[in-house]
Every structure is written in structure tokens, then in C-alpha cells.
Structure 1
């Protein structure tokens, strides 16, 4: 077994992720009028009772300011509502509105179908399991070390 070309592995990983993200976005936009990033925010918010902007920023490794602007757009669209945080007056808690929940529920089968086509389709079940385990390990390694978080 040869030594893996790490630069090529990096390039393949990044280019695949970019194309997968774009394919998901094109389908979500065409069928539901939202981007992949908006879908991911809705999914994250919808899965938690007490979600803050800081929680989103940490999960997606993006700056708090950019996260807040993204939430502003979701709120303006009527998909997310802010409410006061009873434990901290300086922050708000985020929740899906009824319209946001309906959109998330409608878009989730589309999102999952595109993942089946683009991610699960080319791989055997065993290869997909190995990929998922490997990527989860890589992610936890950088997250546990605090690597790759935005500085702003």
C-alpha cells in the first residue's frame, strides 16, 4: 500500500464537499426557495429547544456577526422568531415559526433524497459507514483541539 498524497486527498475532499453543497443548494432553491445554509440553520434550530446565535456560530464554525445576519434573514422571511432568554438578558433564544417548521418538514425529504443520490449512491453501505466514521473522527479531532474556529 502506497503513501497517500495528502494534498490530493485534501483537494478531493474539499472539491467534493463544495459540489455536494452546491447540488443540495440548487435542489433546495428550486423546490423550496431556500439555500443549503438556510436549511442547515433551520434544521439546527428546529432540533433544539434553547438555541442561541452563538450555538449556531459554534456548530457551523462561522463568525457570530455573519450568523446573526443569517438569522436576521430567516426572521425576515418569517421562518424563525427570537424570544428573550430568561437566563441571560443579553441574548435571545431562537425557535422555528409554524411557517419555518412547515418549510423544514417539506424540505427535509428533498435534502435526504439528494444525499442518498450524491453521497450514498456511489458507495456500498460498508464504505458509507467507514466514510461517516472517518469524517466524524476527523471532525472531532479538530473540534476537540479548537482548530478552525473563526476569530471574529
Structure 2
């Protein structure tokens, strides 16, 4: 947990380290559960969720959401497509891009994986933090994310 110095100032480097280490440990723990129970990893789960919630998204939309390069996004989508979980369709308003969507198998997979993911988060976070604390942290992180996104900080350059 981030600590305060003797002057009462928050130790931001410590806050950053705690934030990143918590994210990494949560991500890895969920990754293990998803791989074991559904044969996917957390990044694939997140992609599938995004496509479920944003049918007809373009590769550029997905890349912007996850702050990753378009090339990496396209390759990740190719892997989902090869497994039969997603498809590309021609974009009628822009022939240079495709519209992405889930197949029926992809929808079934993401729905099943969602239950595993939510149960895992409940166990990993809910056993440690109460609801008001989770709500406060969620609000703070949403505010920070919004500020970073508005300033277009942390976006890939390529």
C-alpha cells in the first residue's frame, strides 16, 4: 500500500510499484485460471470481451482501447480468428479496414470465461478489500485512466 512520508506527502514511486505489482499478480492469477478452465489467457479474454461488447469494432478501435500497436492487435486478432472465435468482415464504409466480430463459439467461450474471471476477481480482491474500499479505488483509477487517455499519454508510437 502506498505510504506517506514524514511530511505527509504520498510516496508516488511506492504507489506506482504497488499498483503495478498488484496488477501483475492479479493478471497472472487470472491468466492461470482462464488457461486451465478455458484454454485462453487473460489478454485473449479481454479481447473477446471487448469484441462482445463492441460488435463491428475495427482493429484500430481495439488498439486504442488497450493502448497497444495496430500490428500487435491485428496479430492477436489473427490468433482468435484461427481458433474460430472471431471473424473479420469487410467494412462497407472503409475498404481499408475490417469490422471484427465474435463467432457463436467465441460468444459461448467469453460468456463461460466471464464467470471464471468474475469468480476469480471476487476471491482475489473481495477476500482482502471491502466494497467501499474497492469502490473508492475503482473511482480513483477510473479518474486517473480518463486523465491519461484525454492527454493521450502512454499510447504506442508505432
- The question of whether the paired residues in 1 share the 8 Å contact of 2:48 and 2:106 is answered with yes
Give the match for residue 133 of structure 1: 139
Give the match for residue 38 of structure 2: 32
CA root-mean-square deviation: 0.9
CA distance in 1, matches of 2:37, 2:68: 26
Question: Pairwise mapping of residues 43-58 of structure 1 onto structure 2 (< 5 A)?
Answer: 43-58=49-64
Q: Which runs of 5+ in 2 are unaligned?
A: none
TM-score when normalising by structure 1: 0.97
Q: Choose which of 95, 103, 109 in structure 2 pairs with 1:97.
A: 103
Give the SS at the match of 1:82: strand
User: How far 1:118 sits from its partner (Å)?
Assistant: 1.4
Give the match for residue 75 of structure 1: 81
CA deviations over 1:106-145 (Å, ceiling 9, x no partner): 1110000111111232111111110110000010010000
User: How far 1:4 sits from its partner (Å)?
Assistant: 1.3
CA deviations over 1:58-116 (Å, ceiling 9, x no partner): 00000000000000000000000000001100100011001101101111100001111
User: How far 1:18 sits from its partner (Å)?
Assistant: 0.5
Q: Which runs of 5+ in 1 are unaligned?
A: none
Give the match for residue 122 of structure 1: 128
CA distance in 1, matches of 2:22, 2:54: 29
TM-score when normalising by structure 2: 0.94
Q: Is residue 10 of structure 2 the alignment partner of residue 4 of structure 1? A: yes
Give the SS at the match of 1:89: coil
Following TM superposition, the consecutive aligned residue runs of length 4 or more in structure 1 with deviations greater than 2 angstroms are none
